[in-house]
Amino acid sequence: MADSWVNSAERIGADLHLELSGPGGRRAALTRALREAVRSGRLAPGTRLPPYRSLAADLGLARNTVADAYAELVAEGWLTARQGSGTRVAERARLLRDTPRVPRTSPPRARGPLHDLRQGTPDASAFPRTAWVASYRRAVQRAPREVFGPGDPAGRVELRQALTEYLARARGVRTDPDRVVVCSGFAHALRLLFAPGTGVLRGPLAVEAYGLDFHRELLKAAGVRTVPLPLDEEGARVAELGRERAVLLTPAHQFPTGGPLHAARRAAVVDWARARGGVIIEDDYDGEFRYDRKPVGALQGLDPEQVIHIGSVSKSLTPALRLGWMVLPERYVDGVLAAKGEREGWAGALEQLALADFLACGSYDRHVRRMRQHYRGRRDRLVAALAAHAPHVEVTGIAAGLHAVLRLPPGTERSTVKAARWQGIALDGLAAFRHPATDMPARDGLVVGYATPSEHAYGAALDALCGVLPPP
């Protein structure tokens, strides 16, 4: 028998796919199909089924066939039938549905770590739900009709205007809305800039000797060769730039080692870009979070025509929103939009409008200020715990961002990471971020994300961390 669709308005006003097949005739096939629809959750407990006359008409079956199927499922406990209430999926079906029919053949899902100290994610419990919902509600209520059609590849003008004003005020970025392109985050921005065949940017690309392996692999997949720049206490050694036409930097807070790019080197790399006709890609991934002083302004402010400034809300709000931005020199705007395509498919228009409202009404500023204090407190607790229990382990880099690097005695990183895993602690060793082609001497260290654990779990995570650190 062929598959059938039930579309009776007397049911729940929605289509239901029933596969009427298998042995035993039509009644047995219908009984199996309805039972499976309940068991799989497609028919939820309490759902009213259509009268058997309507269902029979929809499926081309005899009325008695449907009535008998209903009666069998009532007897089995899948359905209930009451005078005046019709036939409904039984509440008890929830328990029946959840009871496995066969023994498990696959292993249970692995549990997460006991203590999550991985870098890269903010405190999920601190997301400003109430303020965000208010902004989202206003955005939907005020949204013009065209919002619900195909999107502009540049992104909603409301968000580009709000970002222009915010970035100028908070990060010293100089631009206008026509040079802002909305994307889904830094990785998406890299894909657009180096998309094969678009000609926006080409390699080789100079990168810092320590950085995200994910970004290097993304560039490699696009056919881009990366050339590592050594690092020291003043940041990337930009004087060693060679014949590259572009360089990727994290100048406000080097990732992951934690130092800022020295002022003289900021000026020097801009001069290099001017002389070479090149461009600097500025990853401003956590520029708002500086704790020992006011945040340093963006490198882009020194020369907007030589710097591509990229930011997102993944550290300040949540990576779940998938919203970021590129502030582009004028000569790259058309190429990036061509790479992005005619229809925006990466960042939802309603989320863009909500973020525009969130910025314009001041909620974003208030949230960042609150989280700046929150994360400063987290970092201070980490430093205090080390001072008390492992004073020989130094926290390196500036007081900023959502992670810290702990310098370990030479030769102890691998064993410490292994010990941490045995104790259920998720974190990364510094070696995981080292460019494979660099000749810079290796450093032993741990990259500890102090933003990730919830507040109630953070103390236990620090205790566990201190317990696995090597002796002096």
Q: Would residue 155 be called left, alpha or beta, if left means φ above 0 and alpha means ψ between -120 and 50 degrees?
A: left
Percentage of residues of the chain with pLDDT beyond 70? 91
Tell which wins on pLDDT, 466 or 39.
466
Average pLDDT, stretch 350-359?
A: 96
From the list 234, 245, 231, the residue with the least C-alpha distance to 274 is: 245
**Position 102 pLDDT exceeds 50:** no
Give exposure, 184-221, as e/b (b: 16+ Cβ within 10 Å). bbbbbbbbbbbbeeeebbbbebbbbbbbbeebbebbee
| Cβ atoms 236, 282 nearer than 8 A | no
Instruction: Give dist(CA 49, CA 58) in Å, integer.
Output: 13
15 C-beta neighbours (distance < 10 Å), count: 10
Instruction: Give dist(CA 304, CA 327) in Å, integer.
Output: 9
**Position 17 pLDDT exceeds 50:** yes
The SS3 call for residue 346 is: coil
The SS3 call for residue 31 is: helix
Backbone angles phi, psi at 446, to 5 degrees: -120, 140
**Position 69 pLDDT exceeds 60:** yes
The single-letter DSSP state of residue 238 is G
Average pLDDT, stretch 111-123?
A: 87
Pairing label, strands 231-232, 226-229: unpaired
**Position 189 pLDDT exceeds 90:** yes
- Reading the block at residue 392, the tokens are 């020989």
> Hey, what domains does the chain have and what are their CATH numbers?
3-98 (1.10.10.10), 127-361 (3.40.640.10), 366-468 (3.90.1150.10)
pLDDT for residue 344: 56
Instruction: Give dist(CA 75, CA 399) in Å, integer.
Output: 68
| Cβ atoms 79, 49 nearer than 8 A | yes
| Cβ atoms 448, 416 nearer than 8 A | no
Strand partners, 426: 116
| Cβ atoms 361, 135 nearer than 8 A | yes
**Position 112 pLDDT exceeds 80:** no
pLDDT for residue 23: 77
pLDDT for residue 108: 46
Lowest mean pLDDT, pick from 12-16, 186-190, 319-323: 12-16
| Tens digits of residue pLDDT in 245-280 | 999 999 999 999 999 999 999 999 999 999 999 999
Average pLDDT, stretch 372-376?
A: 96
| Tens digits of residue pLDDT in 195-237 | 887 779 988 999 999 999 999 999 999 899 999 999 999 999 9
**Position 353 pLDDT exceeds 90:** yes
In this prediction the pTM is: 0.79
pLDDT for residue 98: 52
Pairing label, strands 3-6, 16-19: antiparallel
Instruction: Give dist(CA 230, CA 377) in Å, integer.
Output: 32
Q: What Å distances lie between residue 374 and 55, 379, 451, CA to CA?
A: 59, 9, 9
Q: Tokens 């009644």 sit at which residue?
A: 27
Q: Which amino acid is at 256?
A: P
Average pLDDT, stretch 325-343?
A: 90
What integer best gives the mean pLDDT of the chain?
88
**Position 339 pLDDT exceeds 60:** yes
